[in-house]
Amino acid sequence: MISYLWAESKGHVIGMNGNLPWKLPADMHYFKQTTTNNIILAGNKTYKSFGRPLPHRLNIVLTHQKDNKFPDEVMVIHTLNDFLQFANNNKEKEIFVVGGAQIFKLLLPYVDRLYRTSIDYKFDGDTVMPKINYDEFNLNKETIGKLDSKNIYPHKFDVFERK
């Protein structure tokens, strides 16, 4: 199963200068809780923004650049077809696509589930989430995030399933 996991603010902003434009510990906790002991797939730039392989996950980088060096524990896939073959061979597992925008756009026809954190605040950004036709998905779960001194932006966690 191929799933997307991302956070976006108003205007579908997902990034600024290769990083998240906000600090929202509740979303970081949600990301960690959801992806731990699972498979994550990131593009080259998104993976590099992590600074290291994320622990307790199979880290996969989808990149057409063959000269990049990655740690031994990172699986590198160079083509869409190779990734789709990997996903087909691992149907019983959930593969979390975590960005960036080019990867989200490339894999949109193949995604089964969406995990979206919506932040009700307008941030400046240089990267936006590609357009998703939500008519093709059912909203299965909506959880309103709690506000506190560390999580100051109104937010919610939504899970959608492809119809």
Over range 112-119, report the average pLDDT. Answer: 99
CA 132 – CA 156 distance, rounded (Å):
18
Among 63-67, 68-72, 123-127, which range has the highest average pLDDT? Answer: 123-127
Per-chain mean pLDDT for the chain: 97
Q: What is the pLDDT of residue 66?
A: 86
State residue 154's pLDDT score. 99
Q: Please, which residues have CB within 8 angstroms of residue 135's CB and are 6 or more apart in sequence?
A: none
Residue 9 has a pLDDT of 99
Q: Which residues of 19-36 are buried (b: 16+ CB within 10 A; e: fewer)?
A: ebbbebebbeebbeebbe
106-126 core/surface letters (b: 16 or more CB in 10 A; e: else) = ebbeebebbbbbbbeeebebe
pLDDT for res 67: 80
- Amino acid identity of residue 107, one-letter, is L
CA 51 from centroid of its chain's CA atoms: 16
What the chain holds in terms of domains, given with CATH numbers, is 2-162 (3.40.430.10)
